[in-house]
Chains A and B, each alone.
Chain A
Amino acid sequence: MLSPTKTADGYAAKRTFSQRIHIDIPLLLGLLTLMAFSIAIIYAASGQNDAMIKAQVIRMGISLAAMVIIAQISPSGLRRWSMPLFGLGLGLLVATLLFGHVGKGAQRWLNLGIVNFQTSEAMKVILPIVVAHFITTYALPPKLRHVIIGFIIVIIPTLLIAKQPDLGTSILVASSGVFALFLAGMSWRIIGSLIVSLSAFAPVLWFFLMRDYQRQRVMTFLNPESDPLGSGYHIIQSKIAIGSGGLSGKGWLNGTQSQLEFLPERHTDFIFSVFSEEFGLFGICTLLAVYLFIIARGLYIASQAQEPFSRVLAGAITLTFFVYLFVNIGMVSGLLPVVGVPLPLISYGGTSMLTLMIGFGIVMAIHTHRRVNK
């Protein structure tokens, strides 16, 4: 809980300062710390490119503003708009598949006038709201049929995104929905049978749903040295960067793998490797501590929320944030296949940051729109 803050006139407020501006200060501090890290690492990874720093700072500003604005919306308001938003989101996904702009070999972008809009990003925010809304409409723990309907809600956008194809985003979208169901209290038996059926589904995924390049990525993941100059190049160079960093790192701006550009995608998906090379294992522990703090704070907020909807939503958003983190670090260090998930709030780029900050805006809204007298 926040300690009560004094307002400017000196009276103890009924609502704390943070509740009035609908911002959770500890969470905000955690996020700002990450952003500070981000600027330092992008500066190193981009080869000291001031223009990129400027662009990223502007994006951070926009994302923070979006977070503040979203935080003003009460959870009940969000809930009211959940179904129309879901409909809009699905419509956009279908439109992207039909009319989308092909970038990097995948249809992810919908050209809306002057803005290229990555439609699957919107779904990252919308889906946990919808699932949380649906599942908490009924008494918890949810009944089997509600879980099934919940899964259907999850699977439809997931498949639409996977078809683009964008494996990374579909994993994130699916996990945000699944986390909502898990937090709502889906029974362990269902969870168990789900794991079994998912393993049965793996061959189907491999043979029928995955594209060649995705299969290639998995193969490379299993043995990156098999193709050191081709698809294994990324992961090999990344591990060399991380490994050569050692305990204390080579020092800021002194990473040879990143400064001499052996590391591909070093300011986006592989920024963690740059960080590891320059700051070593000690740096990583510090960074992970910040992440863990944000996750803990998010889960704490979720557990303090008053309505099931808010609880489930805040928890799902926080856990999805963790999935970003885990998948990204896992893939650059060779634990997971390369799926194209950025390091949350650190990687260069605005789209995922905006989505994440909108998510944290919702979390903050949940924490600060509580009825004062319970």
Chain B
Amino acid sequence: MFLNQRSPIRNTVAESNLFTRRVIIAFAIVCALISVLLINLYSIQVSMHESYQTRANGNRIKIIPIAPNRGIIFDRNGVIIAENKAVYSLELVAEKISDIEQTVTLISNLITISDDERERFFKIKRATRRFKKVTLKSRLSPAQVAKISVNLHRLSGVTIEARLKRFYPFKESLTHVLGYVGRMTKKELQTIDKNNESANYAATRDFGKQGIEKYYQTMLHGVAGYQEVEVNHRGKVIRVLNQVLPQHGQDLYLNIDVRLQQQAYTALAGRRGSVVATNPTNGAILAMVSSPSYDPNLFVHGISTKEYTKLLSIDKPLINRATQGAYPPASTIKQLMAIAALEEGVISETSSINDPGWFQLPNVVRKFKDHLAWGHGKVDVYRALEKSCDTFFYDVAYRLGIDKISTFMYQFGFGDYTGIDIHEEKPGIMPSRSWKRARHNQAWYTGDTISLGIGQSYWTATPLQLAKATAIVAANGQRFTPQILGASQQEQSLLQIPADDYAPVELKNERHWKIAQTGMWKVVNSVGGTAYRVFKDASYVSAGKTGTAQVISMGEDEKYDASKMKERHRDNAMYVGYAPFDKPQITLAIVIENAGGGGSSAAPIARQLFDTYLTDNNDFKSSRVLAQRSTNQQELNHAQSH
């Protein structure tokens, strides 16, 4: 039986007993080790059960945020000026596709895929987390959507995604009011993080970049919803456990009248310039145009370098001239100088000077010339405004002195932000002694003061500031922060959002408003007024003031192209005005760069806009629309509360 048995004498009983002992020891060890396993399993399954249970749920339950739909923007008459449109894009999940090159080729047989798109797709794919969708082609046409859709069964891992994208139907004409939305940047994300808003923005792709879209980003955005879903290890959704729908952003009603806006844009006809229309009784901005402009829709889908380079042209379409273009106000502030002089008693309603065609400081040779070389002769304050007499205001400025001028003008908002509800704004310059010291490190010379009288020298103002200052005169000192937003559509009700008003400008003698207003009336209505011919057959009575500014650059950082120097050295045409004269409803400020005389170039635009706004009786109609909406809403609320 045994092979190679060398020791025939074996104690089989002893061997058997030895084995039994060993087996018992082994079995004891087995039992001990199984106990160790059980103790460990007990600690995992019973003592630490809660923690592992939580982690198991954490594995399987994912919160998928749902982006709210951005609020729609309407003009004051309920015309949609910014909306959300479905845009289709072709997206691939690389991990679900066996041969990605082949699939892309297959798709490019159906619809054209440019080399650029192909290249970009593979570049983004490499940098994308696994099982995330990567866009191959965006903005599919309906025909392309159809072509891909019927072939989807052959293309696993390929989906057509519909996303709502911002669309601006009025394109260029409203750009500087609305701004635009674009893909969120890292910096914006950081700001969101800092404000503890990251959960709310988890699914949001676009962010307001400029204008109203930026200023009212929070209102327009809404509140994100979420889905609580069960997912498998690959992140594939198995079922929805719970869902909270997002609250779409508030719809905004702007004070802008889109017809007025478009008319103003058309009237500028691509010239460099700006038109601002406000309601002097409530600060509402009725129109705000900056020309040249650009199509904001370009930015929504990401602008190409080529397109963007075009926007960097010398005409600077990106700048909002209405709020960022700082122009010398020129003669458009003469009525304000008149009020200041009347208030300080340096002139009276009846006092006059003799204008020889120039003004001279005592003991100084240099002459400050009037625009009329032979002078206006005997000039009182009314005539000075009507004819825009420079000499009269040289004298006024000289007698007022810099300190009184700047202090007075601050009340009308010069040299300061107007507080309009967009972020793109410059304060302009209202010069003063301390300003010149800080800016140029020079003392103020009396010579500097003289040209302030005709709104030149260091003085610059934006068209919006001019509109605001004019509105204050028209409204006898009432002051409002200019505001684009008119109302917001909450869940149930329409909420009117009036502009802030603050303490009116108080004059020692209220009649001084009337004097300035009458002066402006004469500009338009008195034969020989600088804007008389433009308005002579108007069906309403308006008041205004022309301006013709000697050109200084609109921005201090602007570099002039030498070859264009001549054209750009022409005067800026300006006009401010309001109508109707007895009960003002609209104030205008118009600047057209290098267009020549204000009376001949800018005033006609004012005429057009007044015609439209007043003869169509737009304001009353539109306020009725808004009022009607709010009553309807109130009735609805009322009905619901019962």
**Chain A contact residues, CB within 8 Å of chain B:** 76, 79-80, 133, 137-141, 179, 182-185, 237, 239-247, 256-257, 260-262, 276, 280-281, 284-285, 288, 291-292, 295-296, 299, 302-303, 307-308, 311-312, 315, 319, 322, 326, 329-330, 333-335
Q: Are A335 and B59 in touch, CB under 8 angstroms?
A: no
Contact A281 B20 (CB under 8 A): no
Q: State whether B2 touches A137 (Cβ < 8 A).
A: yes
Residues of B within 8 A of A291 (CB): 34
Name which residue of chain A comes closest to B21, CB basis.
Answer: A185
Cβ-based interface call for B410 (8 A):
no
6 contacts between A and B (CB under 8 A): A240-B52, A243-B53, A256-B60, A257-B56, A311-B19, A315-B26
Look across to chain B and name the residue whose beta carbon is closest to the beta carbon of A242: B44
- Return the 5 tightest CB-CB contacts between A and B, nearest first: A243-B52, A244-B56, A260-B232, A261-B233, A262-B233
**With A and B bound together, what is the CA distance between A238 and B618 in angstroms?**
72
Contacts A240-B59, A256-B59, A260-B233 given; indicate if A80 touches B19 (C-beta within 8 A). Answer: no
A319 touches B232 (CB 8 A): no
A244-B55, A245-B45 given; name 4 further pairs at CB < 8 Å: A239-B44, A246-B53, A260-B230, A281-B42
Contact B33 A326 (CB under 8 A): yes
- For residue B507, CB closer than 8 A to chain A, the reply is no
Contacts of A302 in B (CB 8 A): 19, 23
Task: Give complex CA distance A98, B636 in Å.
Answer: 87
Distance in angstroms between the alpha carbons of A352 and B54 in the assembled complex: 35
The answer to whether A281 and B46 have CB atoms under 8 Å apart is: yes
What is the CB-to-nearest-CB distance from B276 to chain A, in angstroms, rounded to a whole number? Answer: 58
A-contact bits for B1-22, CB 8 A (1 contact / 0 none):
1111111011110011011101
Whether a CB of chain A sits under 8 angstroms from the CB of B30 is yes
Contact check, A246 vs B59: say whether CB atoms are below 8 A apart.
no
The answer to whether B19 touches A260 (Cβ under 8 A) is no
A133, A244, A257, A295: which has the most chain B beta carbons within 10 Å? A244
- Is A260 touching B60 in the complex (CB atoms < 8 A)? yes
Task: Count contacts on B: residues with CB < 8 A to the other chain.
Answer: 49
Shortest Cβ gap from A257 to chain B (Å): 6
Give per-residue flags for B324-363: 1 if the beta carbon is below 8 A from chain A beta carbons, else 0: 0000000000000000000000000000000000000000
Contact in complex: A315, B38 (CB < 8 Å): no
B37 at the interface (CB under 8 A from A): yes
Across the interface, B37 reaches (CB within 8 A) one of A237, A239, A240, A326, namely A326
State how many angstroms separate the Cβ of B37 from the closest Cβ of chain A: 5
- Residue among B3, B23, B49 making CB contact with A137, cutoff 8 Å: B3
Give the distance to chain B from A264, nearest Cβ to Cβ, in Å: 8
Interface: B51 (CB within 8 A):
yes
Evaluate whether A308 and B56 lie within 8 angstroms (CB atoms) in the complex, with A288-B38, A319-B26 already known. Answer: no
- Residues on the A chain within 8 Å of B52, using CB: 239-240, 242-244
Nearest CB in chain B: distance from A3 CB, A: 22
The listed residue (B33, B41, B51) touching A284 by CB distance below 8 A is B41
Select A140's contact among B1, B4, B18, beta carbons within 8 Å. B18
Contacts of B59 in A (CB 8 A): 237, 240, 256-257, 260, 262
Given A183, A246, A256, A311, which contacts B45 in the complex, CB threshold below 8 Å? A246
Where chain A touches its partner, the secondary structure class is: helix
In the assembled complex, B48 has its CB within 8 A of some CB on chain A: yes
B contact residues around A246 at 8 Å (CB): 45-46, 49, 53
CB of B234 closer than 8 Å to a CB of A: yes
Chain A contacts for B231, CB-based, 8 A? 260
Is the CB–CB distance between A322 and B30 below 8 Å? yes
Residues of B within 8 A of A260 (CB): 59-60, 230-233, 238
B36 contacts A by Cβ under 8 Å: yes
Determine if A315 and B7 form an interchain contact, defined as CB atoms under 8 angstroms apart. Answer: no
Q: How far is the CA of A89 from the CA of B472 in the complex (A)?
A: 106
Give the chain B neighbours of A299 by CB distance below 8 A.
23, 26-27
The closest CB in chain A to the CB of B9 belongs to: A139
A242 close to B45 (CB less than 8 A): yes
Nearest B residue to A285, CB-CB: B38
CA distance A326 to B15 in the complex (A): 29
Q: Which of B1, B26, B33, B53 contacts A244 (CB 8 A)?
A: B53
Q: Does B40 contact A (CB under 8 A)?
A: yes
Task: Report yes or no: A261 in contact with B232, Cβ–Cβ below 8 A.
Answer: yes
What residue in chain A is nearest B15 (Cβ atoms)? A140
User: Roughly how many angstroms separate A280 CA and B42 CA in the complex, as a whole number?
Assistant: 10
B9 CB to closest chain A CB (Å) equals 8
A315 touches B23 (CB 8 A): yes
Contacts of B19 in A (CB 8 A): 140, 183-185, 302-303, 308, 311-312, 315
**How far does the Cβ of B95 sit from chain A's closest Cβ, in whole Å?**
14
Contact: B48 with A243, CB < 8 Å? yes
Known contacts A243-B52, A246-B45, A262-B60: A335-B37 contact under CB 8 Å = yes
In angstroms, Cα B4 to Cα A79, docked, is: 12
A contact residues around B55 at 8 Å (CB): 240, 243-244
Instruction: State A307–B5 Cα separation when bound (angstroms).
Output: 13
Complex: A333 Cα to B45 Cα, angstroms: 10
B618–chain A nearest beta-carbon distance, Å: 62
Q: In this complex, what residue of A is CB-closest to B238? A: A260
Q: Cβ of B56 and Cβ of A333 under 8 Å apart?
A: no
In contact, B6 and A138 (Cβ under 8 angstroms)? yes
How many angstroms between the C-alpha atoms of A308 and B14 in the bound complex? 11
Pairwise interchain contact B23-A241, C-beta atoms closer than 8 A: no
Cβ-defined contact, B26 with A183, below 8 A: yes
**Contact mask for chain B residues 100-113; partner A; CB cutoff 8 A; 1 contact, 0 none:** 00000000000000
* Bound CA span A103–B48, Å: 38
Bound-state Cα–Cα, A242 to B43, Å: 10
A9 to chain B, nearest CB (A): 33
- Residues B388-431 near A (CB distance < 8 A): none
Instruction: Name the distance in Å between A273's Cβ and chain B's nearest Cβ.
Output: 10
The minimal Cβ–Cβ distance linking B533 to chain A, given in whole angstroms, is: 80
Query: Which residues from A are CB-within-8-Å of B6?
Result: 137-138
List of B residues within 8 angstroms of A295 by Cβ? 27, 30
Known contacts A139-B10, A256-B60; is-contact A303 B233 (Cβ 8 Å): no
Contact of A182 among B5, B22, B37, B49 (CB under 8 A): B22
Chain A residues near B22 (CB, 8 Å)?
182-183, 185, 315
Given A183-B19, A240-B59, A303-B23: A137 and B5 interface contact (C-beta under 8 Å): yes
Chain B nearest Cβ from A46, distance in angstroms: 14
Nearest CB in chain A: distance from B233 CB, A: 4
Known: A288-B34, A330-B37. A243 touches B45 (CB 8 A): yes
CB distance from B129 to the nearest CB of A (A): 12
Distance in angstroms between the alpha carbons of A77 and B495 in the assembled complex: 99
Residues of A within 8 A of B26 (CB): 179, 182-183, 299, 315, 319
| Given contacts A246-B53, A319-B26, A76 and B40 within 8 Å (CB-CB) | no
- A185 & B51 in contact (Cβ 8 Å cutoff): no
Which residues of B lie under 8 Å from residue A311 when comparing CB positions?
A: 16, 19
C-alpha spacing A333/B39, complex, angstroms: 11
Given the known inter-chain contacts A303-B19, A308-B19, please indicate yes or no for A139 contacting B49, CB distance below 8 A.
no
Complex alpha-carbon distance, A262 and B55, angstroms: 11
Let me know if A335 and B18 touch, CB within 8 A. Answer: no
By the criterion CB–CB under 8 Å, are B46 and A241 in contact? Answer: no
Interface residue from B2, B23, B45, B233 paired with A276 (Cβ < 8 Å) = B45
| Docked pose: A302 CA to B5 CA in angstroms | 22
Q: Give the residues in chain A near B15, CB-CB below 8 Å.
A: 139-140, 185, 308
Bound complex: CA A308 to CA B23 (Å): 13
A335 touches B7 (CB 8 A): no
Q: Are A334 and B40 in contact (CB under 8 A)?
A: yes
CA gap between A133 and B4 in the complex, in Å: 11
Check B30 against A276 for contact (C-beta < 8 Å). Answer: no
Contacts of B9 in A (CB 8 A): 139
Q: Which of B200-250 contact A (CB under 8 A)?
A: 230-234, 238
B66 to chain A, nearest CB (A): 22
Q: Tell me the smallest distance from the CB of B51 to a CB of chain A, in Å.
A: 7
Complex contact B234–A241 (CB within 8 A) = no
Give the chain A neighbours of B36 by CB distance below 8 A.
335
Residue of A nearest to B52 (CB): A243
Q: In the assembly, what is the distance between CA of A137 and CA of B6, in Å?
A: 8
